[in-house]
A and B are shown apart, each in its own frame.
Chain A
Amino acid sequence: MITLSDIPARGGTPFTLPMALFVAILATAPFWLQWVGLYQYLGVEIAIWILFAMGFNLLFGYTGLHSFGHGAYLGIGAYGFGLFQHGVAVSLWGGLLAAILAATVAGAIVGAFLSHRRGIYYALLTIGFGQVFWFTAMKLHWLTGGEDGLLNIPRPDLVIGPWRVNLNDNAAFYWFVAGITAVAVVLMWRVVNAPVGRILQAIRQNETRARFVGYDVWRWKWLAFTVSAAFAGLAGGLFAMAQQSAYPDVMSLHQSGVIVMMVLVGGGLVSFWGPVLGVILYFIARDVLGGLTEAWLLWYGLIFVVMVMVRPEGLAGLIHTMARRAPPAVAPAAKPETV
C-alpha cells in the first residue's frame, strides 16, 4: 500500500496542475452546479467541509494521529461565531476570528492532554473529549440553546474598502466560502510541503525514531492538533453562517466518524487531495441516494465497509494506482506528482 510519504515533496510554488484544477472547479461551480442537477447551497456545504476535511487531514493523514472526535472543533467554531454575533458585535471578520480562536484554544487544551498518547489511546481520548464538548454544548442551553441550537445567526455583509457585498444570497456566499477555502488549501499545501510537513510525516512513520532524531515530538503533535482544530473552527464559523444557526449535532460521535469516513474514502492517507474527493463523493452520494431511497445510509455504509476492506487507500489511491499502471506517457522518468 502506498502512503503519503511515497509522494515526493515539492518545494516552491503551490501552483501545480491539481491546484489549478481545484481552484478552477471551486471558482466556476455556481455556473454549472444547477446544470448538473445540484444546487447552490450544496456547493456551500461542500466547500466548507472540504476546508474542514483538509485541515483534519493535516492531523489524520500527515501526522498519523487518529482523532475520532473532531466534529467538536467544528461545533465550537460555529458557536464561537454565533456567540460573537449575538454577544459582541455583528461582524464578519470578528466572528470568524472568534470561531478560529475558540476552536484553537479548545484544541490547544485538549492537545496538551493528548500529545503524550499514542495509537489506540489517542483515538480513545479524542472520542472522550469530543463527547465532553458535545455533552457540554447540550447542557449549557442558556448559552448554546441546547439541542434546539443557537438560532438567528446573521450573515454579516462582506466589506472590502468601498465594496459591500450582501452574503445572504447563496451564490455570493458561496464565492466568499470558496475564496477562504482556496486560500486555506494553498496555505496547507505550503505547510505539508515545507520541512514541517516532513517532520509530521516522520512522526507518523515512527514516533520513537522521530524522537531519537531529536524532534520534540510532543510539541509537534500538539501543534498539529491545534492547527487542525483552528481550521475546523474556521470551517465551523462558515458553517454557522451557512445555516444561520449552530447545532450540537455536528459534535456528536456519529458526525465525527463521518468526517473520518469521508477523508478515508477519498484517500486522505495517500494524497493531499484525497479529502476533497471524499467530501464531494459523500455529499453527492448522500444527495443522490437520499433522494432515491430512505435506506441510503445502509448502502453508503456497505460501500464504506467494502472500501476499508479492499481499498483502504481510497479514491485517490485508486487513481494513483491506475495512473501508475497506465503506459508511461510523454515523460516516463517523471515521478508522479501530488495527485
Chain B
Amino acid sequence: MTSLVPHVVNGLTLGLLFALIALGFTLIVGVMEVINLAHGSLFTLGAYLALSTIGAGWFSGTPFGIWWLDLPMASRYFIGLALGPVLAGAAGMLLELCLRPTYGKAPLYGLLLTFGAAIVVEEAIRLIWGTGEQNMPVPQMISGAFLMGGLIFSTYKFYAAGFAIVAILMVWLFLERTPYGAIIKAGAHDSEMVRALGYDLARLRLIVFGFGSALAGIAGMVMAPIWGLRPHLGIDVVIPAFLIIVIGGVGSFWGAVAAALLVGMATGITGAYAPAWSLMSMYILLIAIVGFRARGLLGRRSALEN
C-alpha cells in the first residue's frame, strides 16, 4: 500500500490547483449568478499579459525595457504575477460593463454574452501573441524537483498548491470577515435592500467581476508553467471549473473547494491505477453526486432557479 501514498499526495496537490482554477468562476457564479464562460479566456489572457510583462514584450528595446530586463528574473516574475491578474481584472470589468443590459433577464443572457466574449478574447490573443506555444519562465528558487520517498516531485507544483491555499483563504476571509464581503453577499441575495441602505450596487458588481477575473488571471499565471501556454487554453479551464461548481453546488464556496479536492483525488488516483479513466472520473463523479444530491455537495437554492 505504500505505493499509494505518493498518489494521494499528488491527488491533493492536483485538487488544490483545480480549486485555484475554479476560484474566480465560483465567486462570480455564487455572488452574481452569472456563469462566466469567458473565465477560461481571462485565465489565458492573464497568463499572456504576465508573460509579456516578464519578457518586456511591449517595451523591449526602449531604455526602460533594457533596464527592466537587467532586473533579476525573480523580481520581474513577481511583478508579472501582480500585473497580469490586475490587467485581466480590468478586462473583466470591461466585460461586466457589457453585461449590464442583461441583469434582470434570464441567466441565459449572461451565459451567452460571456460565451461570445470568450471567443472574442481568444481570437484577440491569437492576433496579438500569435498561435504558437509560449514558455512561461519560472524563477530559479521555486523551480526544479525534489525527492520524496525515492520519487521525484515538482517543486513548482508544491509552491503552486501552497499558493492556492493562500488564495482560497484570502478570498474566504474577504467574503466572510470584511464588511465589504458582507455587502457583496447581501447584494447577491437582496439587491433592493442593499440599494436601500445606500450602497452603490453597480460598483459592487463591477468590483466583484473584476476580482473574479483577476483570480482567473492569477490562476492562469500559476498554471501556465504546468500546462503550457497557447491561445486556446481556455477550454481546458472552463470545463473543470464548471464541473467543480456543479459538483460542489452553485453558490457554495466550501462546496467548490471540496469538489475540487475530490476531483483532484479522483483524477490523481485513477491516473495511477486506471489511467484510461482518469478524465472520465470527473464525469462519473458529476453524475454520481448530482444523481443523489440535486444541488451538488453543499449547494443552496439559487435565486435564479425561478
B239 touching A312, Cβ below 8 Å? no
Most interface-central of A117, A127, A254, A264 (chain B CB within 10 A): A127
Residues from chain A with Cβ under 8 Å of B117 in the complex:
301, 305
Stretch at the interface among B43-51, B195-203, B278-286: B278-286
Interface string of B279-295 (1 = CB under 8 A from A): 11001001100110011
Residues from chain A with Cβ under 8 Å of B171 in the complex:
none
Residues from chain B with Cβ under 8 Å of A309 in the complex:
98, 101-102, 113
Tell me the bound Cα distance from A126 to B101 in angstroms: 25
Q: Does B207 contact A (CB under 8 A)?
A: no
Tell me the bound Cα distance from A125 to B295 in angstroms: 10
Q: Does B109 contact A (CB under 8 A)?
A: yes
Tell me the bound Cα distance from A208 to B287 in angstroms: 27
Residues from chain B with Cβ under 8 Å of A207 in the complex:
306
The chain B residue sitting closest to A206, CB to CB, is B306
- Tell me how far the C-beta of B287 lies from the nearest C-beta in chain A, rounded to whole angstroms: 7
A312 touching B105, Cβ below 8 Å? yes
Residues from chain A with Cβ under 8 Å of B113 in the complex:
305, 308-309
A304 touching B116, Cβ below 8 Å? yes
Interface string of B85-127 (1 = CB under 8 A from A): 0000000000000100110011111011101110110011011
B116 touching A125, Cβ below 8 Å? no
Q: A113-B291, A131-B239 are in contact. Are A119 and B304 (CB under 8 A)?
A: yes
Residues from chain B with Cβ under 8 Å of A302 in the complex:
116, 120
Q: Does B243 contact A (CB under 8 A)?
A: yes
Tell me the bound Cα distance from A139 to B280 in angstroms: 9
Q: Does A333 contact B (CB under 8 A)?
A: no
Q: A128-B290, A305-B116, A308-B116 are in contact. Are A66 and B279 (CB under 8 A)?
A: no
Q: Does A326 contact B (CB under 8 A)?
A: no
Tell me the bound Cα distance from A260 to B112 in angstroms: 8
A120 touching B305, Cβ below 8 Å? yes
Q: A68-B111, A264-B112 are in contact. Are A301 and B123 (CB under 8 A)?
A: yes
B238 touching A253, Cβ below 8 Å? yes
Interface string of A284-298 (1 = CB under 8 A from B): 000000000001011
Residues from chain B with Cβ under 8 Å of A127 in the complex:
242
- Tell me how far the C-beta of A285 lies from the nearest C-beta in chain B, rounded to whole angstroms: 13
Main secondary structure of the interface of A (DSSP, over half): helix
Cross-chain contact of B246 among A128, A253, A257 (Cβ < 8 A): A128
Q: Does B42 contact A (CB under 8 A)?
A: no
B238 touching A261, Cβ below 8 Å? no
A128 touching B286, Cβ below 8 Å? yes
Residues from chain B with Cβ under 8 Å of A172 in the complex:
none
Q: Does A116 contact B (CB under 8 A)?
A: yes
Tell me the bound Cα distance from A117 to B242 in angstroms: 17
Tell me the bound Cα distance from A64 to B106 in angstroms: 9
B283 touching A132, Cβ below 8 Å? yes
Q: A119-B302, A119-B304, A128-B243 are in contact. Are A308 and B35 (CB under 8 A)?
A: no
For chain A residues 38-83, which have a beta carbon within 8 Å of chain B?
A: 64, 66, 68
- Tell me how far the C-beta of B262 lies from the nearest C-beta in chain A, rounded to whole angstroms: 15
Residues from chain B with Cβ under 8 Å of A260 in the complex:
108, 112, 115
Residues from chain A with Cβ under 8 Å of B116 in the complex:
261, 301-302, 304-305, 308
Q: A253-B235, A261-B116 are in contact. Are A120 and B286 (CB under 8 A)?
A: no
- Tell me how far the C-beta of B240 lies from the nearest C-beta in chain A, rounded to whole angstroms: 10
Residues from chain A with Cβ under 8 Å of B297 in the complex:
none
For chain B residues 261-281, which have a beta carbon within 8 Å of chain A?
A: 279-280
Q: Does A310 contact B (CB under 8 A)?
A: yes
Q: Does B164 contact A (CB under 8 A)?
A: no
Tell me the bound Cα distance from A118 to B294 in angstroms: 11
The chain A residue sitting closest to B105, CB to CB, is A312
The chain B residue sitting closest to A116, CB to CB, is B294
Q: Does A124 contact B (CB under 8 A)?
A: yes
B283 touching A135, Cβ below 8 Å? yes
Q: Does B245 contact A (CB under 8 A)?
A: yes
- Tell me how far the C-beta of B115 lies from the nearest C-beta in chain A, rounded to whole angstroms: 5
The chain B residue sitting closest to A300, CB to CB, is B119
Cross-chain contact of A118 among B109, B239, B242, B305 (Cβ < 8 A): B305
Most interface-central of A128, A264, A300, A308 (chain B CB within 10 A): A308
Q: A131-B239, A305-B117 are in contact. Are A298 and B286 (CB under 8 A)?
A: no
Tell me the bound Cα distance from A254 to B33 in angstroms: 21
- Tell me how far the C-beta of B271 lies from the nearest C-beta in chain A, rounded to whole angstroms: 15
Residues from chain A with Cβ under 8 Å of B242 in the complex:
124, 127-128
A312 touching B109, Cβ below 8 Å? yes
A261 touching B305, Cβ below 8 Å? no
For chain A residues 78-134, which have a beta carbon within 8 Å of chain B?
A: 113, 116-121, 123-125, 127-128, 131-132
Residues from chain A with Cβ under 8 Å of B243 in the complex:
128, 131
Tell me the bound Cα distance from A113 to B286 in angstroms: 12
Tell me the bound Cα distance from A64 to B111 in angstroms: 14
Residues from chain A with Cβ under 8 Å of B127 in the complex:
295, 298
The chain A residue sitting closest to B119, CB to CB, is A301
What are the 9 tightest A-B residue pairs by CB atom distance, in nearest-first order? A298-B123, A301-B119, A301-B120, A305-B116, A304-B116, A119-B305, A118-B305, A66-B108, A308-B113
29 contacts between A and B (CB under 8 A): A66-B106, A66-B107, A113-B290, A116-B294, A117-B294, A119-B106, A120-B35, A120-B107, A120-B304, A123-B107, A123-B108, A123-B111, A125-B246, A128-B243, A128-B283, A128-B286, A128-B287, A132-B287, A135-B283, A261-B115, A298-B119, A304-B112, A305-B98, A308-B102, A308-B109, A309-B113, A310-B101, A312-B102, A312-B105
Residues of B within 8 A of A (CB): 29, 33, 35, 37, 98, 101-102, 105-109, 111-113, 115-117, 119-120, 123-124, 126-127, 235, 238-239, 242-243, 245-246, 250, 279-280, 283, 286-287, 290-291, 294-295, 302, 304-306
